[in-house]
Amino acid sequence: MTATIELEQVVKTYGGKTAVDRLNLTIESGSVVALLGPNGAGKTTAISMMLGLRRPTSGVIRLLGKDPIIPSTRNHIGAMLQQVNLPEKLSVTEILKLFQSYYEHPLDIDPLIQLAGLEEERKSLASRLSGGQQRRLQFALAMTGNPKVLFLDEPTTGMDVTSRRLFWDRLRALSREGNRTIVLTTHHLEEADSIADRVILIQHGRKVADGSPAQLKALAGFRYIVFTAGPTVPADHISTLPGVKSVEWSGRRARVQTQDSDRLLRLLLERYQDLTDIEVTSGGLEDAFISLTTVSDPTGRDALPRSDALEHPLGSSRRGQKEEAASQ
């Protein structure tokens, strides 16, 4: 495996604010890497620097072994950015043809249209497409140069649930063919969990965790014991048991967070007869995310409280609905 992207001590400041703070990163070719973090964590800034759209304040970035701003390097990359509106008065096919002219060895129109799933809309004006369709066309644009490295900045923003799953399937297929490297930013944990083979957690411009989704879940070190407590179980007592980190109740259903699920489970079974439907899980990436981003804040001042964290970086379902409504 060779390094496709390398960042050494990369810093980016805007008017005294540090967006990216001493970021070190090596991304191997053929990997699918998700930069995950809350909004404003510095993911987009990091990706723009890898693309050569912004220059780092200090530090070194190498893309395919070279400075990202070199045009010959750009023949081998493709990018899907946030907040791009397609030119007016041009059809889907026409925009793709225009984009083809920028690259030395572009892909043909038909496979690109297929990739975007826009067979029906190939003659429609791109500016008239729905939000989700426009995003898919932008994905096809990113693929036009048959890139070795594909950068996707929040790729599924504006897509509904069905398009999103379809998009993930396409992406997984693409990552398997050739030795394509895919770097995406997302605040959807589900997205990172389902397509990335490596997740880099970024907060306040710093890397706070780096590993496979499974490693990250393990890194958080928590397991969850879920059960339904009968009427004889005193709810208040559960949280005072040794080894219990926190308890969430929904009705009589408890979700207990702990670092040693074996010992706690024995204790629970010893003390209470009336526990039913018991499950032990390692928690999702979501739980790992919350515990990692909360613990890692050095000042502790703006550590995300649990409820806030749930709404802010993980508000995927809510945001998703809003975006869907807006795109229709």
Partner 1 sequence: MNKAMTQVQWEIVRQFRNRRFFIFTVLLPLFYYFLFVKIEGGNMRVAGTAWKSYFMMSMAAFSAVGAALNGLSYRIAFERTQGWMTLVRTTPLRPVYYVIGKVAAQLVVSATMVLVLFLAGTFGEGVHLSVAQWVLSWLWLTVGTIPFIALGITIGLIAGMEASGMIATGIYLILSVLGGLWFPTAIMPKLLQDIAKWTPTYRFADIAWHIGANTDPHVSDLAVLAGYLVVFLGLAQWAYRSRREDVA
Interface contacts to partner 1, rule CB under 8 A: 51-55, 68-69, 71-72, 74-75, 77-79, 81-90, 94, 97-104, 138, 141, 145, 151
The residue (of 205 and 313) whose beta carbon lies closer to partner 1 is: 205
Instruction: Using the minimum distance from each CB to partner 1, give the nearer residue, 63 or 304.
Output: 63
DSSP conformation letters of 214-280: HHHHHHTT-EEEEEEEPTTS-HHHHTTSTTEEEEEEETTEEEEEES-HHHHHHHHHHH-S-EEEEEE
- Angle between helix axes 109-116 and 131-143 (nearest 10 degrees) is 140
Tokens at 65, concatenated: 């072994």
In contact, 206 and 45? CB cutoff 8 Å: no
Q: Measuring CA to CA, how many Å separate 9 from each of 15, 35, 46, 62, 66?
A: 19, 17, 12, 12, 16
Question: Vertex 215, ends 2 and 64: CA angle to 5°?
Answer: 20
Closer to partner 1 by Cβ: residue 55 or 172: 55
Cα separation, 294 vs 201, whole angstroms:
12
Minimum CB distance to partner 1, residue 111 (Å): 19
**CB closer to partner 1, 127 vs 194:** 127
Label residues 42-54 b or e (16+ Cβ within 10 Å = b). Answer: bbbbbbbbbbbeb
CB of 106 to partner 1, least distance (A): 10
Whichever of 144 and 186 has its CB closer to partner 1, that residue is 144
Distance CA 263, CA 242 (A): 9
Residue closer to partner 1 (CB basis): 79 or 256: 79
Between CA 48 and CA 52 the distance in angstroms is: 6
Q: Supply the minimum distance, in Å, between the C-beta of residue 249 and partner 1.
A: 46
Question: Residue 85 or residue 162: which is nearer to partner 1 going by CB?
Answer: 85
Nearer CB in complex with partner 1: 147/283: 147
Whole-number minimum distance, CB 130 to partner 1, in Å?
A: 17
Q: Give me the least distance between CB of 157 and partner 1, in Å please.
A: 13
Whole-number minimum distance, CB 240 to partner 1, in Å? 54
150 close to 142: Cβ distance less than 8 angstroms: yes
As measured in angstroms, the least distance from the Cβ of 169 to partner 1 is 24
**Which tokens hold the place of 220?**
């958080």
Radius of gyration of the chain (CA): 23
Helix (H) or strand (E) holding 213: helix 213-219
Report yes or no: 52 and 81 within 8 Å, Cβ to Cβ. no
- C-beta of 114: minimal distance to partner 1 in Å? 21
